Structure formats: C-alpha cells, structure tokens
Chains A and B, each alone.
Chain A
Amino acid sequence: MQRTDSAKNARRDKITALVALAILAVLASYHLWDIRGAFEDFDGWWVYFEPVFPGDDYARVTEFAERRANWHDRYRAITLGVAIRRATPDVEVVYAPDGLWHLWGARPYSPTSWDAPGIKGDYFATTIARAERTTAEYDPALAQSTIDTWESAGAIERLNWNVAYVTGAEDDRAVVLHRDADFSVVYVVPLSLSPAREEIE
C-alpha cells in the first residue's frame, strides 16, 4: 500500500514538474524573444545611454559623454589635462596665463576661469594633469608659422574639443599653455619648445 502511495506521489510530482517547466519555458521564450527589438527598433529597445567606443582613451571618453550645455568647460578641461600628461609624461609644472578664459576666448566670469572655486573646468584639468599650475605673464598666442612648422614636422597631436599637444620633448618636466590667434585651439607645448620660454624663465 505504502509503495503504491509513494509511486502515486512520485507520478504527481513528475506531472507538477513537467507543468512548471512547460509554463517557465513559455515565459522564458517570450522573455528571450524580446531581443528582436534590437533589430526592429533599436532606439525603442535600448533606452539607455548608447554604447560608445572610446577604448582606453580618456580624452575620447569626453567626446562621447552626454551633452549638456553648461558642461563644455568640463569636456575641454579634461581633454586638456590628458593632453598635458601625454605631452610630457613626467610633467611637474604647467605654466598658464592668469585665467584659463584667456586661452579659450571666454569672458572673465565664465566658469572656465582657472581660479573659480568649486568643481569647474580648471579643477578637472589640474586633477588630470597631476601638475602644479604656475601663473606666468607671457603672450599665449602662437604665430601661425610656428604652428605650421610643427604641423609639417608631424609634431602636433590633435584631440577633440580643439585641444592639441606638441610632441618631441617628452623629457621636459614643464609645459606651457598656448592658443592660436583666433582663440579656437589650445596647444600644450613642452617648455623647451615654447616660444614663450625666455619670457617665462
């Protein structure tokens, strides 16, 4: 008698298990079928931040970052910091004019000001650059001929946000921040290559 009960129970359990598996299989199939959205309407299916491909490049990371109107200084300052590190890996000093806005053509009260308190562009730049910023009196404007010379020698590496750095003096421990004549591009120049070297020293 006990054996019969046990066999009955086993049968009932197996039927229960089969029913449960069947229901779960239907639910799971529907669940998995949802992936078709990726092919039919990707933007409706993937509502999150879009996948981007910056690789190991922090400067490129800012290129793909979500766009917010008042964050331009952050993107540019981070890129500037990356450029400083790449121009001279062991950088210790960054010579800059009194106010980053001098380089960027912004107005003095712009949040890009180097000395603005709180988390502003300057903070990002110095954070990434790992260097002491020294205010220096010099003319940050580069002559077009100088830029052309470096360009023709293949010594200019251009990053996004109109930031560029000059290569060829990687052993320098100091860089100077320059700009072009129309305030459009900021150049990170190793001290030994900077036209303002004598003014600064």
Chain B
Amino acid sequence: MITQISFSLVTVLIGWASLWPLRSRLGSVAYHLAAFPTGLMGWGFVASVSIALHTGYSWVLACASLLAFCGALFAAGTWISRSERPAEKPVALWSFAVWALVIGGFTAVMAAWGISAYSHDGWAQYELYSWPLFDNGTAAIKLLGERMLIPSAFHAAYHLFGGEFAGFVYPVLSLHIAALVGFGTARAARPAGRAAALVVPLVVVTVMVGHVTYLFMSIYVHSHTISALYLLMAGLGIKYAFERANASGSQPVLSPSWLLFAGIGLAGIFLARPDGPAYAMAAVLLAAFALVRSRAGREETGWFFAPTVILAGAYTAATILNQGMWTTEKISATTLIGFTALYAAIWAGLRFVPLARSDWLASGNNTLALLVALESVGLVWLFRILGEQANATIFAMTTNLLEQGGWRSFWPLITAMVVVSMVLRPNLRRESFTTALLFYAAQFFVIAFAVHGVTHPGRLGWGDSFNRVAFHSVPLIYLYLGVYVAGLTCTLWAPRTRTES
C-alpha cells in the first residue's frame, strides 16, 4: 500500500511544484485539483526522455526529467504571475496537508480494496508495454501505434516505486473528474449562497457517479477516464480564462493562468489515446472561440498551445529516435508529426493572421456560429464520400448508445435534460459560456463520428470503440448541466444582476 500512496503523493508533488507560481491565480481548489493530472504529464515527459535515450527508468533519469518538466512549467508560471494579479486568496498551507490526506487516503482505500476491471487492452497492452519502457526505454511498436504515451508512461513510472499493476490510479482519476465537475458547478452556484454552492454540486456529482457506466469507467484500465479528465480540464480552463476576460471590463484579457491550465489538459487529451490528437481538436475549437472573442494577445495564445506542441513534439521526436519512422494501422510517426504541425499552425494562425482579430468574429457567438456552419459543410461532405459506411457508423453509434452499449436510459434522459436547458432559459443570472460548453460537448461527437466513420464503422455491443469513447463527453455534459442548474438556483435565490450569455 505504501507503494501506491508514494506514487500518488509524488505525482501530486510534481503538479504542486510545476504550478506553484500560479497557485493564487487559480485558487486553492483548482490548484490542488490540477496537481495530479499535471504530475501524470510529468511522468509522460519522463517516458519521452527514456524513449529518446533508449534507456530504462532510474531515479536519476526520473528526477532530471521531472526537474526539466517542473522547471519549464514553473518558469512559465513565474512569467505569467508577473503580469496577472492574483484573483484568489493565497493558498493556505493547511490545504496542502488536507489534499495530501485526501489523495493518500483515497489511494490507500483503493489499494487495500484492489479493485479493477480490464480487457486485453489493459492487461496485455497498457500494462505489458510499460515493462519494456521501464526496463530499457523501449517504445514497443504496439504501444506507439495503438496506445499512445500517457497511460503506459504512468504504469511504467509506478514500477519505479516497486509496484506491478497501477490499477488504483483509475479511481483516483475518477475522483478528480467528480471533484472538477463539483468545483465548476459550485463556482457557478456561489452567488446563490453557501448552501446552494454545496447542495447543487453534491446533487449533480451524485447523479453523475451513480450511473453504472461512470462506476465501470472509474476502475477500467484504459484511456477513457484519463481522456475524460483532460477534456474536462481543458474545458474548465478555457471557461475560466474567458470569464476572467469578461469580468475585466472594456478591454478583456484572458487569464493566462487558466489558459495554461487548459493547455495542460489539451496536451493530455492529445497524448492519452491514438485518436487523442483528433479529439483534442474539440478543445482547440472552443479555445479558438474564446481567444478570438476576447481578442487575445499573442502571448495568451501561446499559453494554451505551447504545452501540446512542446510535449507532443518531444514525444514524436523521441519515438522516431527510438524506432525510426514507424508505422502502424492506427497512427504512424508521420501522422504524429502532421498533427503536431497542425496544432503549431493553428497556434500561429490565431496569433498572426489578421482575420482572427476581425470585429465580426469577436462579436457575440459569431465564431461559434461560423465554426458550426463550416462543420456542417464538412459533415455533409464526409457523408457523401463515406457513403454507406456513414450510415453504418451512425447505426452502430446510436444503437449502442440507446440499446446495446450498456448505457441503459442514460442518453435519452441526458438528451431530455439538455433540451430542457435549451428551452427553459430564464434571462436572469445566466452563466456566461454555457452555449460554448454545449458546443464543446457536441464537438466531441462530431469528431467521434468523423474518426469512426473514416476508420471503422463500429460494432454492436458495449466494447465498441465509439461506445466507450462516448464516456469522454459525460463529465462535460454534467458540467454543462451543473452550470445550468446553478444558474437556475441563482435566478431563484441570488440578488438580481444581469450577466452576459
């Protein structure tokens, strides 16, 4: 049990150290919640170094790599903290002890319980390929092409502590998802008073974690829980960066701290699954809306994109050094280079292309409208070229979500809730960014259709790739609903002021 607790606490420590200069900008809750996911990215960087040098893990290698990882984020945070004033109260020292107790305690319970669930992907790929990675920095082709970096990287890091099977990490990831949804909802409900800020998130989180699919994903050794966590982190980061800009008056300035928070999430989505680079595009589109609408400065754009371009670039270079220009069915070195270059190009486009600063795009939800219009054209085109396969994909997707995928009544009920949120919209106390959050969740499905339509139409049953991937959107949808319910609560109980939608 000490092994598991040590791993969790060291991972949190990596995150704390990396984000230390931003603690008063993010606030204590978000700072602590970001620590573990950021720490896991740190282990991803250790894996990249190990792959590049083709050498096994050792404490010297791990400490040197983590020093570079933490140092880079610390330097970025220090740079940001020079220009961005603290928005929150200083993080109390006792909160570090409390968070260490929470993570350590939860890890201890999960380690003692020893619960897990896994398919062949888990026991014979994510776990298996962490061994040669740990032993001699071998990036097995199966790992590169079918599994990507982050899950096997933290499985390998766990061996450094003397552990064998890192199944306990998945419930810890799930705990973070629940806490982040609760945090986002509580923040939105705060104007309605303390009781609302406690009760509303509690109800929303209980409904979310009480569903069988969420419970399963909390113990399932795969890329889903971690992808869902990073997708949520990116969404929350962009939301708060945007809201800070809105609150700052006539000359909105996006919060660089929150953009970096979102940027870590973006890098996580990219590196968690072989199709992660495609799904990360949902966060890029959401960020594009926020950056364009807020007329973000050149520097701000960088805080969002830099973690992905740097970490994905490092990983890509490391794998090519290790295996040459490798190819597999799902993804190849060339594809990875292409995606990394694409993200760098979007970064440059948002930073330098004058169109991104046009008045029309910056007005209202015009950017979102434009993106939806472009996407609709893209989808029509995709349907035309895919032909029958598009129908087969849609059939497999919907049949699984509604009947055979193990979701039970989840999607009809969630759809009904979303419809209620769109139809019954009181004008008072509406949280900003709600439309954008819904756009974000919808984006995910559009990309999922494109990915699965192009690669394989799917199969019936819960094990179908899309059916499992659909889980990534669940925390986003609950965040959206939580923010909506918080808005309703504020309409009923908060002092009246009008806010932007």
CA distance A17 to B117 in the complex (A): 41
B482 → A minimal CB distance (Å):
11
B206 / chain A contacts, CB cutoff of 8 Å: 32
CA distance A54 to B116 in the complex (A): 7
B220 interface residue per 8 A CB criterion: yes
The residue from B123, B128, B406 contacting A48, defined by CB atoms under 8 A apart: B406
Report A-chain residues with C-beta under 8 Å of the C-beta of B113: 53
Residue of B nearest to A68 (CB): B120
Interface digits, B169-207 against A, CB 8 Å rule (1 contact, 0 not)? 000000000000000000000000000000000010011
The answer to whether A10 touches B428, judged by C-beta atoms less than 8 angstroms apart, is yes
Residue in B127, B425, B485 whose CB lies within 8 Å of A58 = B127
A58 touches B165 (CB 8 A): yes
Number of interface residues of A (CB under 8 A): 50
Task: Give 1 or 0 for each of A5-19: 1 = CB within 8 Å of chain B CB.
Answer: 000011011101111
- In the bound complex, do residue B165 and residue A74 qualify as a contact, i.e. CB atoms below 8 Å apart? no
Rounded to whole Å, the gap between the CB of B131 and the closest CB of chain A is: 5
Which residue of B3, B203, B491 has the most chain A CB atoms within 10 A of its CB atom? Answer: B491
Chain A contact surface mostly: helix
Stretch in A34-42, A137-145, A166-174 with 4+ CB within 8 Å of B:
A34-42
Query: Are the CB atoms of B164 and A127 closer together than 8 Å?
Result: no
**Which residues of B124-156 have CB atoms within 8 Å of chain A's CB atoms?**
124, 127-129, 131-132, 135-136, 142
Q: Which of B128, B168, B220, B488 contacts A128 (CB 8 A)?
A: B128
Query: Please, how many residues of chain B have a CB less than 8 angstroms from a CB on the other chain?
Result: 57
Chain B positions 153 through 168: 1 when the CB is less than 8 Å from some CB of chain A, otherwise 0: 0000000000111011
In the assembled complex, the CB of A49 is this many whole angstroms from the nearest CB of chain B, namely 5
Closest chain A CB from B134 CB (angstroms): 8
Knowing A13-B426, A14-B491, A56-B114 are in contact, say whether A65-B417 is a contact too (CB < 8 A): no
Q: Are B123 and A37 closer than 8 Å at their CB atoms?
A: no
Q: Is the CB of B210 within 8 A of A32?
A: yes
Does chain A have a CB within 8 A of B365? Answer: no
Instruction: Kindly state the separation between the CA atoms of A2 and B485 in the bound complex, as whole angstroms.
Output: 29
Tell me if B118 counts as interface (CB < 8 A to partner A).
Answer: yes
Q: Which of A23-31, A103-111, A153-161, A182-190 contacts B (4 or more CB under 8 A)?
A: A23-31
CA distance A34 to B120 in the complex (A): 29
Is A119 part of the contact surface with B, judged by Cβ < 8 Å? yes
Contact across chains for A27 and B165 when beta carbons are under 8 A apart: no
Q: Within residues 447 to 469 of chain B, which ones have a CB less than 8 A from any CB in chain A?
A: 462
A32 to B211, CA, bound (A): 7
B131 pairs with A127, CB closer than 8 A: yes
| Shortest beta-carbon distance from A192 to chain B in Å | 24
Instruction: Report 28 cross-chain contacts, Cβ distance below 8 Å, ordered by A residue.
Output: A13-B427, A14-B492, A17-B489, A19-B424, A20-B421, A20-B424, A20-B488, A23-B424, A28-B207, A31-B413, A32-B206, A32-B210, A34-B212, A34-B409, A38-B212, A52-B117, A53-B114, A54-B167, A55-B111, A55-B114, A56-B111, A58-B127, A61-B165, A71-B120, A78-B128, A119-B142, A128-B131, A130-B136
**B positions within 8 Å CB-CB of A:** 3-4, 111, 113-120, 123-124, 127-129, 131-132, 135-136, 142, 163-165, 167-168, 203, 206-207, 210-212, 216, 219-220, 406, 408-410, 413, 416-417, 420-421, 424-428, 462, 481, 485, 488-489, 491-492, 496
Q: Which residues of A contact B (CB under 8 A)?
A: 9-10, 12-14, 16-21, 23-24, 27-28, 30-32, 34-35, 37-38, 45-58, 61-62, 65-66, 68, 71, 74, 78, 82, 119, 124, 127-128, 130
